[in-house]
Amino acid sequence: MTFEHIPYHRPDIELLKIEFSKLLADFQKSSGSAAKIEIIKRINKLRNDFDTQYNICHIRHTINTTNEFYERENDFFDNQMPEFQNLINQYYRLLSHTSDRKELTLHLGEQLFDIAEMSLKTLRPDVIEDLQKENVLVSEYRKLKASAKIMFRGKEYNLTGLGPSMLSPDRDTRREASEAHWKFFSDNSEKFDQIYDQLIKNRTLTAKKLGFRSFTELGYLRMLRPYTQERVAGFREAVLKHIVPVSETLRRRQIKTLGVDKLMYYDISLYFKEGNPTPKGDAQWIIANGRKMYAEFSKETGQFFDFMISRELMDLENKQGKAGGGYCTYIANEGSPFIFSNFNGTAHDIDVLTHEAGHAFQVYESRGHHIPEYYWPTNEACEIHSMSMELLTYPWMAFFFKEETEKYKFSHLAGNLLFLPYGVTVDEFQHLVYAHPLATPKERNAMWRATEKKYQPHIDYGDNDYLDNGAFWQKQAHIFESPFYYIDYTLAQICAFQFWQKANINRDAAFADYLRLCQAGGSESFENLVKYANLESPFQDGCVEKVSKQVYEYLNSNPVN
Ligand code: ZN
């Protein structure tokens, strides 16, 4: 069945509660692990049914945020999701107190019990209302950004649509397009501040009710992290020490390549004077080449991509009213991943395609897990699949970029390295924000600007006061939508670089490790998965230094510019 034909119906939440509670009572009464496993299967079936409808709604709502039907359905889920999570938590409570734990662990794995214990600390019935409010605020942020209608040189664009002009080789064009882009944010700056202000207060209140000192501790548990804030701080420190200096060297090289006197904020994404490489065809052409690429890549990826095409599980082109960004999700009852993106004719289209295909390939390879918790791992591990896929597909980039292939590989790899200082900026900023929940918008902007200067000292905002005063963060969706989800990309990038290095030496061995990692899904914690894939943990002393040095040496010796 193609995506379009998958039926949607709003889950009957009252009926779900009755059925779920009955199964929980049965679980409590049952004796022996075999009986309990049977009940868990039925509980998971109910969860998959609900989750399937949620994802169909989410996909259709984000494809067209102006569709009133799915907007109403999205509101329904914003409201019901915390209730649903509360039901799951009741299951987790029984699971973590069961007398058959040892026996059940043998069948279900340790990771499920770790997830259950962490999740239990993040939710209680008395915070459900706060979580509902949080969801409404997140939807408000999403809608505000999707509503952007920006006039530029007589034509109307949404945020993604302006992308190509912001990368124009003509400096005046990219400056004016950037100014138009940021003017939308600056015009709505107070609205963004209001939404974030309420989110911070709301999250802090939730954390206090649950007995935490600040939201940060709760944020880590929501991300299901067994590791501490100190280890993350140590990782950021390693980025500062080993990556920031080479990033600054790359930026100086960029100034020379572009032939500009200094690198302004509207120059930083342009790597070549004559323009960044672009894909040489439209979305349909990209998909056709993607199919060819994945067929050659491996038997497994070939089957996977055919599945995505035949069931129409991708919505890739930018359209008015479509939500921004890209994502991959999973429709459990169909065993179908779904890829969402906003192609705009830049090289980013290919990055997004390979990135989201990495996520989709993992979940497709993990669809045999019977435990929903294991469809996906935690986010830092998820981003290894996606970010590694971007790099493992390098041998096929000529399909998309033709004579500009080497340029693409250079700018993509350099971009990945240069991303790391930005990624830790987003993370450190959020730690500051939740440590000072009463800060004013102005104070918050000052925190951002100071952190930015620490990790990305080259940034020059010229006379753009909105950015120079520290409001860049307002465009970063994760800060609003998924607090503390960002360091994940940087941890995963260090792992993905290792896959790239391995593939340069022995492609088959690298793919074998990659496939095994994808098939493991979420059955283990991040660091266990890293070990399982024969990678070094980014938290390990010396790892960031060693990995980034090899990438930098490659870039440094690359004659592309
Ligand atoms: Zn991703």
What residues form DSSP beta bridges with 21?
A: none
Q: What is the 3-state secondary structure (H, E, C) of 274-289?
A: CCCCCCCCCHHHHHHH
Compute, in angstroms, the gap from residue 488 CA to the centroid of ligand 1. Answer: 9
Compute, in angstroms, the gap from residue 476 CA to the centroid of ligand 1. Answer: 14
Which pair of tokens denotes residue 464?
């753009």
Q: Evaluate whether residue 113 is within a structural domain.
A: yes
Compute, in angstroms, the gap from residue 452 CA to the centroid of ligand 1. Answer: 23
Task: Please give the DSSP secondary-structure letter assigned to residue 332.
Answer: G
Q: Are 272 and 257 in contact (CB under 8 A)?
A: yes
Q: Are 39 and 26 in contact (CB under 8 A)?
A: yes
Measured CA to CA, the distance from residue 375 to residue 151 in angstroms comes to: 43
Sequence-distant (≥ 6) Cβ neighbours of residue 546 within 8 angstroms: 536
Supply the pLDDT for residue 461.
Answer: 98
Compute, in angstroms, the gap from residue 383 CA to the centroid of ligand 1. Answer: 5
Predicted confidence (pLDDT) at residue 442 exceeds the cutoff of 70: yes
Compute, in angstroms, the gap from residue 353 CA to the centroid of ligand 1. Answer: 11
Measured CA to CA, the distance from residue 388 to residue 548 in angstroms comes to: 15
What domain count does the chain have? Answer: 1
Give the relative orientation of helices 405-435 and 543-557 as an angle to the nearest 10 degrees. Answer: 150
> In percent, how much of the chain has pLDDT > 90?
93
Q: Evaluate whether residue 52 is within a structural domain.
A: yes
Compute, in angstroms, the gap from residue 385 CA to the centroid of ligand 1. Answer: 8
Measured CA to CA, the distance from residue 214 to residue 124 in angstroms comes to: 17
Q: Evaluate whether residue 48 is within a structural domain.
A: yes
Predicted confidence (pLDDT) at residue 147 exceeds the cutoff of 90: no
Compute, in angstroms, the gap from residue 382 CA to the centroid of ligand 1. Answer: 7
Compute, in angstroms, the gap from residue 283 CA to the centroid of ligand 1. Answer: 20
C-alpha of 472 from chain center: 19
Residue 560 banded pLDDT, cuts 50, 70, 90 = low
Measured CA to CA, the distance from residue 21 to residue 441 in angstroms comes to: 44
Predicted confidence (pLDDT) at residue 405 exceeds the cutoff of 90: yes
Compute, in angstroms, the gap from residue 294 CA to the centroid of ligand 1. Answer: 19
Q: HSE on the CB side for 74, CA within 13 Å?
A: 22
Residue 561 banded pLDDT, cuts 50, 70, 90 = low
What protein residues have CB closer than 5 angstroms to ion ligand 1?
386
Compute, in angstroms, the gap from residue 37 CA to the centroid of ligand 1. Answer: 32
Q: For 317-355, how does the pLDDT look when each residue is reduced to its tens digit (9 = 90+)?
A: 888 888 888 999 999 999 999 999 999 889 999 999 999
What length is written for the chain?
Answer: 561
Predicted confidence (pLDDT) at residue 110 exceeds the cutoff of 90: yes
Supply the pLDDT for residue 325.
Answer: 84
Compute, in angstroms, the gap from residue 492 CA to the centroid of ligand 1. Answer: 10
Candidates 502, 497, 443; CA nearest to 470 is: 443
Q: HSE on the CB side for 385, CA within 13 Å?
A: 29
Compute, in angstroms, the gap from residue 348 CA to the centroid of ligand 1. Answer: 13
Predicted confidence (pLDDT) at residue 307 exceeds the cutoff of 80: yes
Q: Evaluate whether residue 295 is within a structural domain.
A: no
The residue type found at 86 is N
Q: Evaluate whether residue 28 is within a structural domain.
A: yes
Supply the pLDDT for residue 78.
Answer: 87
Q: Are 293 and 401 in contact (CB under 8 A)?
A: no
Please calculate the CA angle 380-385-386 and round it to the nearest 5 degrees: 90
Contacts of 249-252 with CB under 8 Å at 24 or more apart are 250/414, 250/417, 250/418, 250/552, 250/555, 251/418, 251/458
Supply the pLDDT for residue 212.
Answer: 98
Residue 557 banded pLDDT, cuts 50, 70, 90 = confident
Predicted confidence (pLDDT) at residue 453 exceeds the cutoff of 60: yes
Compute, in angstroms, the gap from residue 336 CA to the centroid of ligand 1. Answer: 17
Compute, in angstroms, the gap from residue 375 CA to the centroid of ligand 1. Answer: 15
Supply the pLDDT for residue 559.
Answer: 67
Residue 400 banded pLDDT, cuts 50, 70, 90 = very high
- 546 CB-contact burial (10 Å; exposed 0-12 / middle 13-18 / buried 19+): middle
Q: For 279-305, how does the pLDDT look when each residue is reduced to its tens digit (9 = 90+)?
A: 999 999 999 999 999 999 999 999 999
Compute, in angstroms, the gap from residue 326 CA to the centroid of ligand 1. Answer: 8
Instruction: Give all strands of the β-sheet with 336-343 in edge-to-edge order.
Output: 314-317, 336-343, 327-331
Compute, in angstroms, the gap from residue 439 CA to the centroid of ligand 1. Answer: 31
Compute, in angstroms, the gap from residue 340 CA to the centroid of ligand 1. Answer: 11
Residue 146 banded pLDDT, cuts 50, 70, 90 = confident
Compute, in angstroms, the gap from residue 465 CA to the centroid of ligand 1. Answer: 32
Measured CA to CA, the distance from residue 422 to residue 431 in angstroms comes to: 15
Q: Evaluate whether residue 54 is within a structural domain.
A: yes
Compute, in angstroms, the gap from residue 87 CA to the centroid of ligand 1. Answer: 28
CA distances from 207 to 121, 426, 535 (A): 10, 21, 35
Compute, in angstroms, the gap from residue 355 CA to the centroid of ligand 1. Answer: 6
Measured CA to CA, the distance from residue 429 to residue 444 in angstroms comes to: 9
C-alpha of 502 from chain center: 24
Task: Please give the DSSP secondary-structure letter assigned to residue 482.
Answer: S
Query: Max alpha carbon distance in the chain (Å)?
Result: 75
Predicted confidence (pLDDT) at residue 476 exceeds the cutoff of 80: yes
Compute, in angstroms, the gap from residue 227 CA to the centroid of ligand 1. Answer: 21
The CB density around residue 406, as the number of other CB atoms within 10 Å, is 16
Main-chain dihedrals φ then ψ at residue 315, nearest 5 degrees: -125, 105
- What domain range includes position 83? 3-134
Compute, in angstroms, the gap from residue 386 CA to the centroid of ligand 1. Answer: 6
Predicted confidence (pLDDT) at residue 247 exceeds the cutoff of 80: yes
> In percent, how much of the chain has pLDDT > 70?
99
Considering the chain, what is the average pLDDT of its residues? 96
Compute, in angstroms, the gap from residue 223 CA to the centroid of ligand 1. Answer: 15
Measured CA to CA, the distance from residue 388 to residue 43 in angstroms comes to: 34
Task: Please give the DSSP secondary-structure letter assigned to residue 427.
Answer: H
Main-chain dihedrals φ then ψ at residue 338, nearest 5 degrees: -135, 135
Residue 59 banded pLDDT, cuts 50, 70, 90 = very high
Q: Are 277 and 400 in contact (CB under 8 A)?
A: no
Supply the pLDDT for residue 556.
Answer: 87
Task: Please give the DSSP secondary-structure letter assigned to residue 321.
Answer: T
Q: State in Å, rounded, how far the first CA of the chain is from the last one.
A: 48
Sequence-distant (≥ 6) Cβ neighbours of residue 402 within 8 angstroms: 280
Q: Are 432 and 451 in contact (CB under 8 A)?
A: yes
Compute, in angstroms, the gap from residue 359 CA to the centroid of ligand 1. Answer: 7
Compute, in angstroms, the gap from residue 356 CA to the centroid of ligand 1. Answer: 6
**Among 158-162, 435-439, 556-560, where is mean pLDDT lowest?**
556-560
Q: What is the 3-state secondary structure (H, E, C) of 153-202?
A: CCEEECCCCCHHHHCCCCHHHHHHHHHHHHHHHHHCHHHHHHHHHHHHHH
Q: For 154-210, how does the pLDDT look when each residue is reduced to its tens digit (9 = 90+)?
A: 999 988 889 999 999 999 999 999 999 999 999 999 999 999 999 999 999 999 999
Supply the pLDDT for residue 558.
Answer: 78
Compute, in angstroms, the gap from residue 363 CA to the centroid of ligand 1. Answer: 12
Q: Evaluate whether residue 13 is within a structural domain.
A: yes
Q: Evaluate whether residue 65 is within a structural domain.
A: yes
